[in-house]
Every structure is written in structure tokens, then in C-alpha cells.
């Protein structure tokens, strides 16, 4: 079997993975990115609305600064984030945005003079001064005090990824696409690379590296209704969890985006509401301003998704063959605005719904969108438990999002964390040498080949992998969704344990040769069910409501008992994850309080519990 050696191995070639590779390559180190798809097809390209950075250039962003961005981020997280990381993030974001402009991003710019904008369906005027002409502008996003979401129409992820990939080519970083990492190579203390499977030939290959980065994005595909691409199935988190050493942080923290289109669940950007779009019910009446008079449609995503679900439960949803939904109305923004600043939304609606958003309403409802959960790292991106292993982007629990991510902060995190973690990886590699133990490598390769042979030969059983996946997804959708309660969560844990037992008995109906989606899923299905159990079990144990984790039987946010981060590890042979906890922040720059939106009781903690 072929073996390839490099300084840095990035599992994932989206924005976070490529940004770390750029930093390492710029410092003179060899870097290879593995990707299951060509890099420009990574899910980063699907990000539409923009990237938050406190520039303060536009009229409605006047007075913005990292302090305001920090406050918004901490409140958005419902005080679940690491405030040291959040501070590091907001201070670096303006630098990162300008750096991307230097590399070629065509950011939308300030145009001086009088123009109109919409808020809550009403039209207002603004005057941009001539002194700001040509500066990077921004749009409004949920949960923010200022307009700070920098954008390129509604294709920001697309332009960022193409520019980043150009930089990767320029620096000589190799990208091995159609290559999937299926296990980490480690000796219990140090990670030295991965076993990867070629998706074209089916052959295994060992990649050995001084430093390995997990940057595989989120794992929304454990849910049935998700905005995530089919490649977001948790590959990076699975191989980390399989070590029995590396924890997944906050597995119960799963975000639902308010506006997935019905029935395909493709995302239409928060920029629609940021630019003035409104949500309407079956009577075509606006309702968010009744629930949230201050923020309305631009409260944080967890809050808007809850109110939308609540409104549908009241019988005010629109009936359809695909279930009840609500309407998103951007008609009043006008053809000129939609065709320039929301052109991808127009294409999506035309191509996937047969709806013209210039003249028609868009059917939407909340869909799983983002995992604040991820491979737990410290502020440098170093993963807990294994030396030489790092993580960045949505795959990581860094942890600047806590229990709710603000729109625009994830795209920013890929670039900002990629820059910061990349610098730390380069520092780590300076003078660092590692011995590659051939016995450890060979053992990992043999283990994976035997696992493949067992699936092909149906040695463990003949369970249908697609049926197992579907049952897992249904369980999460039905019982571990936007609203949760102890009875349903316990049922979910019990049922998922049965599904986990079935996942261990999967056998292939195909021959497993070459390009084989059935084998690809079969190699991951047990890990996907483990991630599902981590989410359900951690949600059952967290007896409070915080951000996206809304317990109907424990409605209060409990800062006294639950101002802590969940760490889930999976020991070999166990049927449930082991849950440990750590403080959410070593210190509190911003003490816990009310967010300013959303209705939630708060059980306060003693000031002595907040650290220095």
C-alpha cells in the first residue's frame, strides 16, 4: 500500500483547511489537503450571506468595533462560548477581511450618496458620505447591534473559496481530491497521520504527517432535514471519536436555520432578512414583530427558529404535501436588489421551487444547519488528547459559538481560525520531529482493510446501511430537534442504542469495488450513530435551556449549574458516550446576563463562580 509523507496534512480542503495550509506553506512547510470532492466544491462555497468583521464603514455600521462584535458574539452564544477565544476572534476578523481583499475578494463597497433600505418591510433612507467611498461595506444580520456582515452579493463563500484555492495553488499546496480519511494513525499519545481510501479505486493509502488537521466541516447529515451538503456526514468527528481519547465538545449544540426552503431544505441566506425580508404566516401576516418587538426577524437564529416552530404549532403554518411551512417575503426589495445582491436566492427559488421571489412568496421552515459541536480544541486549535492533531472551522469546537452561532460568524471563523490555527501549526512544526512507527501504521492499515472485507463479506450481518441511516435521521428529527424534553430524549437515546447495534451488523449488497457510495456510508454509519447518541445523551443530561438547546421541561437558563461545556468521548465497547464537563471560560470578560432578545428565565450563578 502506498505511503505519502508530509509536514502538514489537512483533512478537508474547504476554507478552514486551505487557510491553515496557506499559513503553513507560507512558513516553508510542505502541506497536503485531502478532500472527498474537488476543493472548489467544498461546502464552504454554499455560504451566501457574508462574513462578520467590525469595520464600521457603512452608515448603519458607524461606531462598530471589536468590543461591540464581542458583546454580540457572547450574547449570541447565550454565554456558552469561550470568551478568550471570542475576543481573539473579533480582534483578528477585520485583519482577515482586509487580507482577503488583498488576495482578490471583490467585496461589495460603499457607494456614496442617498439610497434606500428596508427594515421589517418598511422603507428607510440612508446617506453614505463621500469620505467612505470604496470602503468594504456590510449588511445587517441577526443578533447584531451594527451592520458588520461583509459580503459579495449572496455568494460570499463561493468567492472566498475560489480566491483561497488560487492561493493554495500559488503556494504549491497539494490537494488530493476524491480521497477520504477513514481513521487516524496514532499510538494513544501522538497522531501521525491517517488511513485514507481513494473514492475512485477503493484502494487504501497511508498519509504520514508531523501535524494533522481535521477541517471536514459539520455533520448535519445525521439529520434528515438539513441545509448541509451530502459530504457533511461527520467524517472528521467520527475518526476523532473513534480514538476513544479525543472528545467532541457540546454535542447537544445543534443549530437550526430559520429559512430552509420547502421541500428541498436548501438554505436561503439570512441576508434576505438582513436586507429587509419578512416572515409571513398562512394569512400572509407578519408575526415575528409580535414575538420579538425589538429584533423581529433579526433576533438570533435559535430564537427565530423557535418562534417559527411555535407559530406553526399554533396552526398558523401553511399546509403542504411536505408538511407545514411559513413564507419568506422579499418582494418589496424589488427586482434590482434581488437580481444584484440576492441573485443566488433568485436562482435557487427558480430552479428548485419554480418560484420567482421577485413576485412570489418563498416557502420556508427551520432546518438543521450548523454544528456548534465539534472536535474539542484549545485556543491554538490543538485537539485535546493527541499531540500533533489540530482542528479548525465547523469541524472544531474552538469554542467561540457556544450554544448559538450568529450568522456571518461561521464564514468569518473559517478564515480567522484558519489564520490563527495556521500560525500555531507553523510554530508547532518549527524544529519538531516525529518518529513514524511502521508497526503502528501497518496495524491501522490492516484494521481498516479487515473492516472493509467484513462489510463486503457480510461477516457481521446483513443490515441495510441506508435503512439504518434513515431510522437514525428520523429519530433525531422527531426527538432531538428545536424543542426537546426529557421523555422524548430518553426515548431517542434508547432507540438510537438499538440503531447503533444494527449499525454494527451492516453488510453490503454491492461488491464494494471502486466508486461505491454504499461502502462509503457503511464505513461511517456506526460513527454517525455514535454522534447522534452523543447529541441525544448530552441533551438529556443538560437540564436547562441555553441557546439552541431548548428544553420544554427545563425552560430556564441555569448559570448556577450548567455554565459549562460538555465533553463527550466514546470508550471502546461502550453503548453510550462518557460525558465530562469543563468551565465554558477560564475568565468572564462579559458576565452572564440577558441577551436582549428571546424570552428565557435565568437562574443566576454566584459572582464567585465566574473566575477572576
Active site amino acids: 257, 273
Round to whole Å and give the CA distance between 263 and 91: 40
Round to whole Å and give the CA distance between 14 and 387: 23
Round to whole Å and give the CA distance between 560 and 564: 10
The cell numbers describing 534, all together, are 452523543
Round to whole Å and give the CA distance between 475 and 518: 21
CB atoms within 10 A of CB 125: 9
Residues in Cβ contact with 432 at an 8 Å cutoff, skipping those fewer than 6 apart: 210, 211
User: Are the CB atoms for 363 and 327 separated by under 8 Å?
Assistant: yes
Q: How far is CA 582 from CA 247, 394, 399, in A?
A: 12, 20, 12
Of 401, 370, 305, the closest CA to residue 73 belongs to: 401
Buried b / exposed e over 425-447, threshold 16 CB at 10 Å, is: bbebbeeeeeeeeeebbeebbee
Residues in Cβ contact with 444 at an 8 Å cutoff, skipping those fewer than 6 apart: 183, 184, 185, 195, 206
Tell me whether the omega of the peptide bond preceding residue 263 falls within 30 degrees of 0, making it cis: yes
H or E stretch covering 567: strand 564-569
Round to whole Å and give the CA distance between 493 and 451: 26
Amino acid at each position: 500500500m502506498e505511503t505519502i509523507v508530509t509536514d502538514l496534512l489537512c483533512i478537508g480542503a474547504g476554507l478552514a483547511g486551505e487557510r491553515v495550509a496557506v499559513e503553513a506553506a507560507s512558513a516553508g512547510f510542505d502541506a497536503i489537503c485531502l478532500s472527498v470532492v474537488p476543493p472548489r466544491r467544498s461546502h464552504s462555497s454554499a455560504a451566501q450571506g457574508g462574513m462578520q468583521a467590525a469595520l464600521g464603514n457603512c452608515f448603519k455600521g458607524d461606531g462598530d468595533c471589536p468590543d461591540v462584535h464581542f458583546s454580540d458574539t457572547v450574547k449570541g452564544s447565550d454565554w456558552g462560548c469561550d470568551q478568550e477565544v471570542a475576543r481573539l476572534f473579533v480582534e483578528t476578523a477585520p485583519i482577515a477581511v482586509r487580507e482577503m481583499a488583498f488576495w482578490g475578494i471583490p467585496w461589495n463597497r460603499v457607494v456614496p450618496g442617498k439610497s434606500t433600505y428596508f427594515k421589517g418591510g418598511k422603507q428607510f433612507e440612508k446617506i453614505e458620505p463621500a469620505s467612505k467611498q470604496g470602503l468594504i461595506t456590510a449588511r445587517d444580520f441577526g443578533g447584531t447591534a451594527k451592520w458588520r456582515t461583509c459580503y459579495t452579493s449572496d455568494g460570499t463563500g463561493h468567492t472566498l473559496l475560489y480566491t483561497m484555492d488560487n492561493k493554495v495553488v500559488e503556494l504549491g499546496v497539494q490537494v488530493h481530491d476524491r480521497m477520504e480519511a477513514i481513521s487516524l494513525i496514532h499510538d494513544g499519545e501522538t497522531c501521525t497521520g491517517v488511513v485514507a481510501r481513494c473514492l475512485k479505486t477503493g484502494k487504501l493509502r497511508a498519509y504520514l504527517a508531523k501535524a494533522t488537521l481535521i477541517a471536514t466541516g459539520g455533520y448535519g447529515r445525521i439529520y434528515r432535514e438539513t441545509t448541509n451538503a451530502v459530504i457533511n456526514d461527520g467524517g472528521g468527528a467520527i475518526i476523532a471519536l473513534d480514538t476513544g481519547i479525543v472528545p467532541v465538545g457540546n454535542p447537544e449544540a445543534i443549530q437550526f436555520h430559520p429559512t430552509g426552503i420547502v421541500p428541498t431544505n436548501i438554505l436561503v441566506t439570512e441576508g434576505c432578512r438582513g436586507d429587509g425580508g419578512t416572515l409571513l404566516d398562512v394569512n400572509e401576516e407578519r408575526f415575528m414583530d409580535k414575538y420579538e418587538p425589538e429584533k423581529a426577524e433579526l433576533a438570533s437564529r435559535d430564537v427565530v427558529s423557535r418562534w417559527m416552530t411555535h407559530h406553526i404549532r399554533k396552526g398558523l403554518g401553511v399546509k403542504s404535501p411536505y408538511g407545514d411551512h411559513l413564507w419568506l417575503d422579499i418582494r418589496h426589495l424589488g427586482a434590482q436588489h434581488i437580481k444584484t445582491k440576492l441573485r443566488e436566492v433568485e436562482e435557487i427559488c427558480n430552479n428548485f421551487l419554480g418560484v420567482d421571489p421577485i413576485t412570489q412568496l418563498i416557502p420556508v421552515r427551520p432546518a438543521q444547519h450548523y454544528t456548534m459541536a465539534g472536535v474539542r480544541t484549545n485556543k491554538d486549535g490543538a485537539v485535546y488528547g493527541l499531540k500533533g492533531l489540530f482542528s479548525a472551522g465547523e469541524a472544531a469546537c474552538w469554542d467561540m459559538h457556544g450554544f448559538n452561532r450568529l450568522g456571518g460568524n461561521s464564514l468569518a471563523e473559517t478564515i480567522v481560525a484558519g489564520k490563527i490555527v495556521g500560525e500555531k501549526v507553523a510554530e508547532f512544526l518549527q524544529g519538531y520531529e516525529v518518529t513514524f512507527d511502521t508497526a503502528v501504521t501497518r496495524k491501522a492499515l490492516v484494521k481498516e482493510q479487515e473492516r472493509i472485507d467484513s462489510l463486503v463479506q457480510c461477516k457481521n450481518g446483513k443490515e441495510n446501511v441506508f435503512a439504518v441511516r434513515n431510522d437514525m435521521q428520523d429519530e433525531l428529527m422527531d426527538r432531538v430537534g428545536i424543542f426537546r424534553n426529557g421523555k422524548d430524549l430518553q426515548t431517542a437515546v434508547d432507540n438510537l442504542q438499538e440503531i447503533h447495534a444494527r449499525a454494527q451488523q451492516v453488510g453490503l449488497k454491492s461488491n464494494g469495488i471502486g466508486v461505491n457510495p454504499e461502502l462509503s456510508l457503511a464505513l461511517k454509519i456506526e460513527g454517525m450513530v455514535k454522534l447522534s447518541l452523543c447529541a441525544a445523551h448530552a441533551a438529556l443530561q443538560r437540564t436547562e435551556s441555553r441557546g439552541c438547546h431548548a428544553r420544554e421541561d427545563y425552560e430556564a437558563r441555569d448559570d448556577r449549574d450548567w455554565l459549562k461545556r460538555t465533553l463527550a468521548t466514546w470508550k471502546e465497547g461502550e453503548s453510550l458516550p462518557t460525558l465530562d464537563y469543563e468551565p465554558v471560560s477560564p475568565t468572564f470578560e462579559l458576565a452572564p446576563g440577558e441577551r436582549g432578545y428571546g424570552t428565557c428565565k435565568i437562574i443566576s450563578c454566584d459572582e464567585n463562580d465566574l473566575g477572576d
